[in-house]
């Protein structure tokens, strides 16, 4: 059974999760959509002949900044993630909220990996262009 102090702490944590989710929820959706768009842009960039190095550099910078932004967002929510996981019981009244938050936050590193792979791909494409045209 949860005591009065524990119930108040639980409600405070739920409020913090709700506030944080409201703040970053839309940002995460936009970051994911933008990452998908960057993947398509990189695919088109590597498929078409380029006359300069600039599009590859621009793509590398955009993908790198996107990954950095996601890492910073992940780190900003990490204390809340730890707080959510520590006094956790899945069958408590706030269990579903915490489970959802923990799952979403645990998936963020995979979004960063996707973004880093895009940046790495843009870097490799730029190096290929340098090897082909800058010589």
Kindly report which listed range (32-36, 47-51, 58-62) carries the lowest average pLDDT score.
47-51
Question: Considering only CA atoms, which of 99, 104, 34 is closest in space to residue 69?
Answer: 34
Mean pLDDT of the 15-30 span = 90
How does residue 60 score in pLDDT terms, banded at 50, 70 and 90?
Answer: very high
Q: What is the pLDDT of residues 100-114, one digit of tens each?
A: 888 999 999 999 999
Q: At what angle do helices 54-85 and 95-133 cross, to 10 degrees?
A: 160
What is the overall mean pLDDT for the chain? 87
Measured distance CA(20)–CA(116) in Å, rounded: 25
| pLDDT at 96 (0 to 100) | 80
Q: Which of 61, 74, 90 is nearest to 20 (CA)?
A: 74
* CA–CA dist 80, 63 (Å, integer): 27
Per-residue pLDDT for 37 more than 60?
yes
pLDDT, tens digit, 9 for 90 and up, residues 63-103: 999 999 999 999 999 999 998 887 666 666 667 888 888 89
CB hemisphere CA count around 49 (13 angstroms) = 3
- The structure tokens 């009244």 sit at 93
In Å, what is the CA distance from 83 to each residue of 77, 80, 102, 121?
10, 5, 10, 36
pTM: 0.84
Cα–Cα dist 104/48, whole Å: 36
Collapsing DSSP states into helix, strand and coil, what is residue 86? coil
Percent of all residues in the chain with a pLDDT value above 70, rounded to a whole number: 87
Reported as a pLDDT band with limits 50, 70 and 90, residue 1 is: very low
CA dist., res. 111 & res. 67, Å (int): 8
Q: How far apart are CA 99 and CA 64, in angstroms?
A: 30
Per-residue pLDDT, 105 = 92
């Amino acid at each position: 059974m949860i005591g009065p102090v524990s119930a108040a702490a639980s409600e405070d944590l739920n409020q913090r999760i709700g506030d944080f989710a409201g703040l970053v929820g839309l940002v995460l959706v936009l970051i994911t959509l933008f990452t998908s768009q960057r993947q398509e842009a990189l695919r088109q960039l590597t498929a078409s002949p380029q006359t300069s190095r600039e599009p590859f550099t621009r793509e590398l910078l955009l993908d790198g900044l996107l990954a950095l932004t996601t890492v910073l967002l992940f780190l900003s929510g990490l204390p809340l993630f730890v707080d959510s996981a520590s006094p956790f019981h899945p069958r408590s009244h706030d269990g579903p909220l915490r489970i959802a938050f923990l799952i979403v936050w645990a998936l963020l590193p995979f979004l960063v990996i996707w973004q880093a792979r895009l940046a790495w791909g843009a870097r490799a494409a730029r190096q290929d262009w340098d090897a082909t045209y800058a010589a």
